[in-house]
Amino acid sequence: QVQLVESGGGVVQPGRSLRLSCAASGFTFSDDAMHWVRQAPGKGLEWVAMIWYDGSNQHYVDSVKGRFTISRDNSKNTVSLQMNTLRVEDTAVYYCARDPSKSGWAFTDWGQGTMVTVSS
């Protein structure tokens, strides 16, 4: 069965960095785009970033452009989110999500999420 397991969350001071990872299994990872979606406490879902199946293209929400970098290693079935210059407003649960090709940007599988708290 498909599994997505996020790791790397924690408490960090504003301006510092954190790297999230998502380990995938149960499907052909190199066939699918991958996304990061976040949810601030008590708030709705916010799409953060995506990377194409082969890593050739990435897109980001405006609020993280220049600060966050999404990457993937298809040999290790992992997708990562490098978060630099963190802000208090980046505090959220971060989910990785699978986006199969031809799914119409549908996230068929989600991880359990990892909490990132940015606080001084």
Q: How far is residue 73's CA from residue 56's CA, in Å, rounded to a whole number? A: 12
Tokens, residue 42: 């008590």
**The only residue of 9, 110, 115, 117 in contact with other proteins, by rule CB under 8 A:** 110
Stretch that binds other proteins, among 14-22, 24-32, 54-62, 79-87 (CB under 8 A): 54-62
* Binding segment (CB under 8 A) for other proteins, from list 10-18, 22-30, 44-52, 74-82: 44-52
Q: Which of 50, 51, 83, 118 binds other proteins (CB under 8 A)?
A: 50
- Is 32:22 a contact under the CB 8 Å cutoff? no
Looking at beta carbons only, is 13 or 25 nearer to other proteins?
25
**Distance in angstroms (rounded) separating the CA atoms of residues 86 and 14:** 5
